[in-house]
Amino acid sequence: GNQKATHSENSQGKKSQRAEEAIFYMNCRAAYLTVLKSSLENIKSKEQLSLVLQQAGRNPSQKTINKYWTSQTTSLNFDDFCAILKKEKPATKNELLEAFGKIDTDKAGYIFHDELYRILTTRGDKMTWEEVTTITKQADFNCSGKLDYNKFCELYLTTSEQCCKAARDRLEVDPRLRQQQFGNQTETSSEGITLPVSKPSPRISRKTDHKLAKGDSRAPSRPSSAQSGKASTSTTVTVGASSSRNTKLIIEPDTMKEWQCAQSKGCFYLEEDGEIISHKYRLHLPQRSAVCITIKPLNIPQAEGKSCHWLSVDTALFILKENETQENLQLVNFTELQHKEMFGWRGELGSGVYWLLPFTTGCRLRKVKTQIPGEAKLVWRDEDGELALTKEFRAALLEIFETIDLDGNGLLSLEEYNFFELRTSGEKCDQEAWAVCKENFEMKKNELTRQGFMDLNLMEANDRDGDPWDLWVTLLSLGYNKALEMTEACPFVIDICAERCKPRIKAISLEAGGSQLSRAVCRSVVSKGEAKVLDGSENIIIHTYKSGSRITSVIENKSENKVIIHVNSEQSKNCLNSRGLTIFAVEVAPKSMMVSQHVMPLNEEEEWIYSCVHSLV
């Protein structure tokens, strides 16, 4: 009886989930077709992306738009748009009220227009005076020079819902729009999109799972989905304890003493939606030379009792050659050799310009909900009532300085400081503002010192009369939690040594890896990994590649049609994967390939087993 009830509940849950998905995709299409003629037409500009997101009830900031429309983006299709909407949830009333509450420190329920003008024209996505005036002139939520933000939030949410409803109504009454097909996922996308199907996926037999649960670590002789007649293939890789970290880099210090070297630091940052962004680099070699390129997490000295949470994060570098255009960079190689936490590559490179794209799988740099006992204090007042930075906050700022000082010279250039500004405020500091900094804070050779950086943050605290809100915005955007631990970022260091010339490395941007990195990851796995054809479907190939302490699988679809692949890695032992799920489904566009998942050991001191079944749905 209990089993039947549970089965019924599960069935109801699946129906409810499918109904939610159907509504979600209907809303996606309604918004998309309000701006574009067809769901097969692509978004061609930032402005179009912003407009179509607004039609879906979102209010994207410039920082949000820049996250999805990077310097390498030329277009986004319908599936990309759906993926963005899944990540960018509409603001709730509580979230809006909380944001206003940070301005309304007296909790009066309103904000004076003068204060509103000051904040909206100087912070974040700065508004013009005229735009703010448009808000303050609305009689519905303004009175006597004050904005009633509770009423404003209600009207904002109502208007947003009316906008979405109008788009849905238009879709319903126009049969031409209603019959349009969904767009296909782009070739280079690294994210799988679960297809919104109206019928459940074929059931997977659980008999094999019960047998394996009793301690038998062998993979089933046939994939469980094969019993339903679907094309499938299984892969099992067993790795001994710590063996994955014992690959020696072929670097002989004696033979490299005369080599010329260059170094740059950088950082992976975890976004709110789980996406990872990092610095990207351009490498220039004046002539052909043997080179050695390595990347590893940056070990920053810690106070007693504190540890570098990020040292276990995996890192890699993909080396791409720049051609006449930046559109189609060619994969040269990647850092596949591992020694402890360092990954490296050694070989010969011709003269010219190369792109170095840092990469981490996301297995260990990911969102984790942890209980923080209490919020760290950032500032305090001395006996004279003067504000000062706490010892703990000063230590965090020194850590940040060490991370953003990319060339490691102990000073921040305007270029280095601007990467910090872009990450924390979404804006850049121009030469004029830098000159003002020079007048007020300690600099050497036109570069900001550590003390100058400390004083700049103290000034920010003074500007808010000791309110640490802005300081916390900075810290959280740099990967710190409320206990001042860097848990959602991973600083790294890149070293390049060349035998015959002086290499030059320069950080160019701070953004998501984008299509170039996705393509490079897929091509590296396809070129080096083991290929298995899905039984019964010769056009679907699963490529699996082990590099050091990580395993990556890539799905290649050679057919003319998009396919849905069901992925089941429940039988894996002592593993972390990049998706955070042991069972999921991905959609692969025709004539394309995409990453299925990255896998790493949970505990490297113990044996780990990657066991995965890919099945055609």
> What's the CATH code of the domain at 142?
1.10.238.10
Residue 380, amino acid:
W
Q: What is the pLDDT of residues 262-272, one digit of tens each?
A: 999 999 999 88
| Contact (CB, 8 A) for 508 and 281 | yes
Is residue 416, in this structure, part of any structural domain at all?
Answer: yes
Give the 3-state secondary structure of residue 531: strand
Is the per-residue pLDDT at 547 higher than 60? yes
Please count the other Cβ atoms lying within 10 Å of the Cβ belonging to residue 592: 19
- State the pLDDT at residue 303: 61
By CB neighbour count within 10 A (0-12 exposed, 13-18 middle, 19+ buried), where does 593 fall? buried
Is residue 211, in this structure, part of any structural domain at all?
Answer: no
593 & 445 share domain: no
The structural domain count of the chain equals 5
286 or 301, which is more confident? 286
Is residue 291, in this structure, part of any structural domain at all?
Answer: yes
Residue 542 is inside which H or E element, if any?
strand 537-547
Question: Could you identify the residue written with the tokens 């990309």?
Answer: 80
User: Most distant CA pair in the chain: distance in Å?
Assistant: 79
297 & 344 share domain: yes
The model's pTM is 0.65
Strands 146-148 and 330-334: unpaired
58 & 69 share domain: yes
Is residue 586, in this structure, part of any structural domain at all?
Answer: yes
80 or 16, which is more confident? 80
213 contacts: CB under 8 Å, gap ≥ 6: none
371 or 510, which is more confident? 510
- State the pLDDT at residue 229: 47
- State the pLDDT at residue 587: 86
61 & 101 share domain: no
- State the pLDDT at residue 190: 35
Mean pLDDT score of the chain, rounded to an integer? 82
434 & 356 share domain: no
Is residue 474, in this structure, part of any structural domain at all?
Answer: yes
**pLDDT, mean of residues 203-227:** 32
Residue 611: both structure tokens together: 């066991």
> Helices (DSSP H) in 88-179: which residue ranges?
93-103, 113-120, 129-136, 149-173, 175-178
297 contacts: CB under 8 Å, gap ≥ 6: 308, 310, 311, 312, 313, 315, 341, 490, 491, 492, 493
419 & 332 share domain: no
Last-in-domain residue among 44, 59, 87: 87
Residue 395: both structure tokens together: 């230590």
- State the pLDDT at residue 201: 31
| Contact (CB, 8 A) for 422 and 428 | yes
**pLDDT, mean of residues 220-249:** 59
| Contact (CB, 8 A) for 587 and 192 | yes
Which of 321, 318, 353, 349 has its CA nearest to residue 336? 318
CA distance 515 to 188: 5
Q: What is the pLDDT of residues 382-437, one digit of tens each?
A: 888 899 999 999 999 999 999 999 999 999 999 999 999 999 988 888 999 999 99
Confidence bin at 195 (pLDDT 50/70/90): very low
Percent of the chain with pLDDT over 70: 82
Is residue 319, in this structure, part of any structural domain at all?
Answer: yes
421 & 452 share domain: yes
Kindly calculate the radius of gyration of the chain based on its CA atoms and give it in whole angstroms.
27
Sheet containing strand 608-616, edge to edge, reads 232-239, 608-616, 563-568, 583-588
Which of 293, 249, 294, 295 has its CA nearest to residue 268? 295
Which of 340, 342, 290 has its CA nearest to residue 317? 342
612 & 521 share domain: yes
> Lowest mean pLDDT: which of 73-87, 184-198, 317-331, 346-360?
184-198
398 & 428 share domain: yes
- State the pLDDT at residue 539: 92
Give the 3-state secondary structure of residue 291: strand
CA distance 230 to 615: 7
Is residue 199, in this structure, part of any structural domain at all?
Answer: no
402 & 450 share domain: yes
Domain enclosing residue 118, as ranges: 93-175
CA distance 96 to 109: 13
Residue 306 is inside which H or E element, if any?
none
Q: How far apart are the first and last CA of the chain?
A: 31
CA distance 584 to 208: 18
| Contact (CB, 8 A) for 314 and 600 | yes
Q: The CATH number of the domain where 15 resides is what?
A: 1.10.238
Give the 3-state secondary structure of residue 273: coil
Is residue 569, in this structure, part of any structural domain at all?
Answer: yes
DSSP 418-460: HHHHHHHHS----HHHHHHHHHHS-EETTEE-HHHHHHHHHHH
**DSSP designation for 26:** H
| Contact (CB, 8 A) for 152 and 101 | no
Is the per-residue pLDDT at 17 higher than 90? no
- State the pLDDT at residue 219: 35
12 & 152 share domain: no
Q: The CATH number of the domain where 349 resides is what?
A: 2.60.120.380
CA distance 581 to 569: 9
Residue 117, amino acid:
Y
Residue 405: both structure tokens together: 């000082």
Percent of the chain with pLDDT over 90: 42
477 & 390 share domain: yes
CA distance 453 to 365: 27
- State the pLDDT at residue 555: 96
Confidence bin at 184 (pLDDT 50/70/90): very low
Q: The CATH number of the domain where 548 resides is what?
A: 2.60.40.1180
Please count the other Cβ atoms lying within 10 Å of the Cβ belonging to residue 253: 6
Confidence bin at 256 (pLDDT 50/70/90): confident
- State the pLDDT at residue 228: 41
Last-in-domain residue among 37, 68, 87: 87
Last-in-domain residue among 57, 87, 117: 87
CA distance 86 to 273: 9
Residue 253: both structure tokens together: 């210090």
Q: What is the pLDDT of residues 436-467, one digit of tens each?
A: 999 999 999 999 999 999 999 999 888 888 88
